[in-house]
Amino acid sequence: MKKILHLIALLLMTVITLALTASCNKDGEKDKEETFDINKLSEYILFARRDDGNPKNSIRLYDFKAGNEAMMFTGGGNFNAQQVYTIVDNNTIMISNTSKIVFDQQGNVTSMIYNNPDNPDAAQTYKQFKLIKKHTIDQLAGKSFRFRYYNPDGSLVPPEHTYTFAANGSKPEGQTINGALRNSDYTLIGNVAYVGSANKGGTTDYEVLVLVNGKLEASYRDNTESVYLYGSFEELK
């Protein structure tokens, strides 16, 4: 009887040891997955939304490339502006000596400040920022969102309607903002963002759309009225 009890005790100890080992391995794998490598920024795009000044609530988007390059897109229509970034340390980069971005160990942006070289005393801060992993498949294709833009003062820009992305690309023909018709293909970035334009008379408006935490974050430059519109669109399922 003692031998049986001893064998049972050994068996239980073995099972507990194996369970603890498996748990530790999983925790180790999780920590490894969550560790951010600043040298692999080319796998990401960076979304940021203005906090202060003019234009408030406008979006700045960086598409990181190999060789410490980044393509910049802004709500004002500054599309595909080539930038160079420098890795300052394990959690900080400088983009073209204007934008200082600090990350934590998981790749979350903890702060971002943009210093305009033409106005060095007026630094721009950001209230929203997100480092987003690029995808191999278009994450917006075939999805619909409740479309609602706001003026800088927070008033709604009518009308509200559904914004639908085509299953094989994005060309939202017939949809308008303040009378501007979207009639051109939008450029896909990292399979999670689109930038494009809309025409109204003799002017061209610009739009930036980024999928962030399930919502479509948007910035729109109405060049006729010289205002930046903004929105955060819910997906319709």
- At 176-216, the pLDDT tens digits run 566 666 656 778 899 999 888 877 777 888 889 999 999 99
- Is residue 107 a contact partner of residue 36, using CB atoms and an 8 Å limit? yes
Res. 110: pLDDT tops 80 = yes
**Confidence band for 4, pLDDT divided at 50, 70 and 90:** low
Which are the contacts of 159, defined by CB distance < 8 A and separation ≥ 6?
Answer: none
Res. 233: pLDDT tops 80 = yes
In this predicted model, what pLDDT tens digit does every residue of 29-85 receive, in sequence order? 433 455 789 999 999 999 998 866 666 788 889 999 999 999 998 877 777 788 999
Give the separation between CA 217 and CA 138, rounded to whole angstroms.
16
Asked whether the bond before 159 is cis by omega within 30 degrees of 0, the reply is yes
- Strand-strand pairing, 180-181 and 176-177: antiparallel
pLDDT at 27: 41
pLDDT at 181: 60
Encoded amino acid at 235, one letter? E
- Is residue 137 a contact partner of residue 191, using CB atoms and an 8 Å limit? yes
Give the separation between CA 149 and CA 163, rounded to whole angstroms.
11
**pTM surpassing 0.75?**
yes
User: Which residue(s) pair with 3 in the sheet?
Assistant: none
pLDDT at 40: 93
DSSP state at residue 202? T
Average pLDDT of span 97-123? 82
Average pLDDT of span 93-100? 89
Res. 118: pLDDT tops 70 = no
- Is residue 228 a contact partner of residue 221, using CB atoms and an 8 Å limit? yes
Higher-confidence residue: 89 or 180?
Answer: 89
pLDDT at 108: 92
Give the separation between CA 184 and CA 186, rounded to whole angstroms.
6
In this predicted model, what pLDDT tens digit does every residue of 144-185 receive, in sequence order? 888 888 988 889 988 777 777 877 765 554 455 666 666 567
pLDDT at 122: 67
Give the separation between CA 199 and CA 201, rounded to whole angstroms.
6
pLDDT at 15: 45
